[in-house]
């Protein structure tokens, strides 16, 4: 894996990702490192489980099909505000939308083929499917009050960035295992 630059944030950047969450200021400062670590570990553990379940399958199109999900390629560069979206998982519908023009731009920026980029993006979305259907929402691992008025705290909400951290960890760990598996196969 020497010289390979993975296009999703690594564990060191997970804390930075958390700081972008709109609820970040509501997080107890002493909990920040621990909740980031927990979300990262959740993603890695899920990757290990899926890798075993699908016998090291590297093609997420196949994993998605075997999981009875639908995936639609949408020929669009999906940008809302200043945010480009590559895909989304529609919970409750079993659907992943893949925005191919957005993915193409990301692929070029990261020196990936379209196929490699799509596969990586699909692995990220597959983690969100797992959250909704098997492992629980990573965003709910730590909750903060929705509204605070003095000592009065009303409602609770999860931290969305924790789900993204888990998805990044899932994608990274899965591809580390695929690459190690490939290296082991070549060495035999």
Both tokens of 61, joined, read 């199109």
The answer to whether position 27 is within a domain reads yes
The answer to whether position 6 is within a domain reads no
pLDDT band at 184 (very low <50, low <70, confident <90, very high): low
Q: What would the pLDDT profile of 42-56 be if each residue is shown by its tens digit?
A: 999 999 999 999 999
Give the percent of the chain with pLDDT over 90.
76
pLDDT band at 182 (very low <50, low <70, confident <90, very high): low
Q: DSSP of 1-31, one letter per residue?
A: -TT---SS--HHHHHHHHHTSTTGGGS-GGG
The answer to whether position 73 is within a domain reads yes
The answer to whether position 95 is within a domain reads yes
The answer to whether position 3 is within a domain reads no
The answer to whether position 1 is within a domain reads no
Q: With beta carbons less than 8 A apart as the criterion, state whether 182 and 62 touch.
A: no
For 119, the domain range is 11-182
Strand partners, 152: 149
The answer to whether position 188 is within a domain reads no
DSSP single-letter state for residue 132: I
Both tokens of 161, joined, read 């960035």
Nearest to 43 by CA among 161, 164, 177, 133: 164
Strand partners, 7: none
The answer to whether position 5 is within a domain reads no
Q: Supply the pTM of this predicted model.
A: 0.90
Both tokens of 108, joined, read 């070029």
- How many domains, the chain? 1
DSSP single-letter state for residue 111: T
Query: How many whole angstroms separate alpha carbon 33 and alpha carbon 14?
Result: 10
Q: What would the pLDDT profile of 45-86 be if each residue is shown by its tens digit?
A: 999 999 999 999 999 999 999 999 999 999 999 999 888 999
pLDDT for 3: 42
pLDDT for 186: 57
């Amino acid at each position: 894996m020497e010289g390979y630059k993975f296009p999703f944030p690594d564990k060191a950047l997970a804390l930075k990702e958390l700081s972008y969450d709109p609820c970040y200021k509501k997080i107890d400062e002493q909990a920040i490192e621990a909740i980031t670590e927990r979300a990262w570990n959740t993603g890695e553990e899920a990757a290990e489980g899926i890798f075993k379940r699908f016998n090291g399958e590297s093609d997420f199109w196949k994993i998605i099909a075997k999981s009875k999900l639908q995936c639609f390629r949408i020929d669009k560069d999906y940008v809302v505000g200043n945010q480009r979206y590559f895909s989304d998982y529609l919970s409750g519908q079993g659907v992943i939308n893949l925005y191919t023009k957005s993915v193409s731009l990301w692929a070029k920026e990261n020196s990936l083929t379209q196929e490699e980029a799509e596969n990586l993006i699909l692995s990220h979305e597959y983690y969100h499917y797992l959250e909704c259907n098997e492992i629980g929402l990573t965003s709910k691992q730590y909750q903060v009050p929705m509204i605070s008025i003095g000592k009065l705290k009303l409602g609770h909400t999860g931290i969305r960035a924790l789900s993204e951290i888990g998805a990044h960890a899932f994608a990274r760990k899965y591809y580390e295992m695929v690459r190690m598996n490939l290296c082991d196969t070549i060495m035999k």
